[in-house]
Amino acid sequence: MKPRFSPGAAVALTLISLLVAAPAAAHPLITEPVAPLGRLMFESGFAATFRSDAFREPKTTYETSNIPFEARLGVTDRLDVGVTMNYLSQRLRGPEFDYKGSRTAVFNPELKYAFNDIVGLQFIYHNGISEEGAQELSIARGDDYELKALFRLPLRVPIELNLGYLFRNDYFSTLGIRDNPKSRVKPGDIALASLAAEIPIHWHIALLAEGAYYSVQEQTVAGVSQEGSKGTAADALVGLTWTYAGWNIGSGVAFGLLDESHTSFDLERGAGDYQLRFRVSYRLKPRKPDVQS
């Protein structure tokens, strides 16, 4: 199924920012840095992730792809506002079946405020979306709210640390069965933590190391608890970043460290068996007016 939005429009938004370059701060692939953009600074870009999980009983492969387009504006020296437009698809394959599903792009507005250089807060509103009835593996979610405390540890190699909580609301789903009456789904909230360190190498390139931990609460469907829906996930990521003249490009590979079930974590979180990540953004600063004598 084709998404009902134009990726070209989002890519065009990214290319518009090529007008003026500004010094870019490094941006990890999982962890949100404390540093704000700065007053009237604008940044746009996109990311892409691919996650794969394999299970023996029954023998299946579960894959998810996520493509978020991002745009942010520095309102003040400390306050950023932004929006992310996500496209998500998933696929479940087995010996005698192959199910697919996708979610059309939804806008997720966010606010970030840095109290100083080492402490900040980020709030994200994840807009709810209903499932596509014709899909075999449809995707839906409620109106979710995410709050993160951001920290920067001023060590010799600075470390970015996030501690957060995702409040998930109810939604209705046919549970992948066509013509099935919709049931109320109460997904489990997620507590999360992540940290990132970038070690400079040369030529504006840095080695990126990140870790993430997620604890997912139990999910209920029509008031009945779902077995295997409660669990934890821990990931490790290694990658490279390149930051120069307004550009910020990063890529890496993440691995799941626990024997986790795909039912125990959110589609947009957790590395599963392995996950490939890529992110590119460009930052532009306001032009100073010409001063005439």
Q: Write down the domain spans for the chain.
A: 7-284
Say how many C-beta atoms besides its own lie within 10 A of residue 159's C-beta. Answer: 15
Helix, strand, coil shares of the chain as percentages rounded to 5? 5, 55, 40
Q: What does the alpha-carbon distance between residue 121 and residue 128 come to, in Å, rounded to a whole number?
A: 22
pLDDT value of residue 179? 66
Residue 30's closest CA among 193, 260, 248, 262? 193
Maximal CA-CA distance, the chain: 78
Q: pTM of the full predicted structure?
A: 0.84
pLDDT value of residue 118? 95
Query: Does residue 99 sit in helix, strand or coil?
Result: strand
Q: What does the alpha-carbon distance between residue 112 and residue 77 come to, in Å, rounded to a whole number?
A: 11
Q: What does the alpha-carbon distance between residue 76 and residue 84 come to, in Å, rounded to a whole number?
A: 20
Residue 228's closest CA among 259, 270, 182? 259
Say how many C-beta atoms besides its own lie within 10 A of residue 137's C-beta. Answer: 17
pLDDT value of residue 4? 45
Q: What does the alpha-carbon distance between residue 250 and residue 256 come to, in Å, rounded to a whole number?
A: 20
Q: Sort residue 27 into left (φ over 0), alpha (ψ -120 to 50) or beta.
A: beta
pLDDT value of residue 288? 63
Domain 7-284 is of which CATH architecture?
Beta Barrel (2.40)
Burial class (CB in 10 A: 0-12, 13-18, 19+), 202: exposed
DSSP 227: T
Per-residue pLDDT for the chain (293 aa), expressed as one digit of tens each? 444 444 444 434 433 333 343 444 578 999 999 999 999 999 999 999 999 988 877 788 989 999 999 999 999 999 999 999 999 898 988 888 888 888 877 889 999 999 999 999 999 999 888 877 677 777 888 899 999 999 999 988 889 999 999 999 998 887 666 667 788 889 999 999 999 999 999 899 999 999 999 999 999 988 888 888 898 999 999 999 999 988 999 999 999 998 777 677 788 888 989 999 999 999 987 666 655 54
Residue 226's closest CA among 237, 214, 217? 217
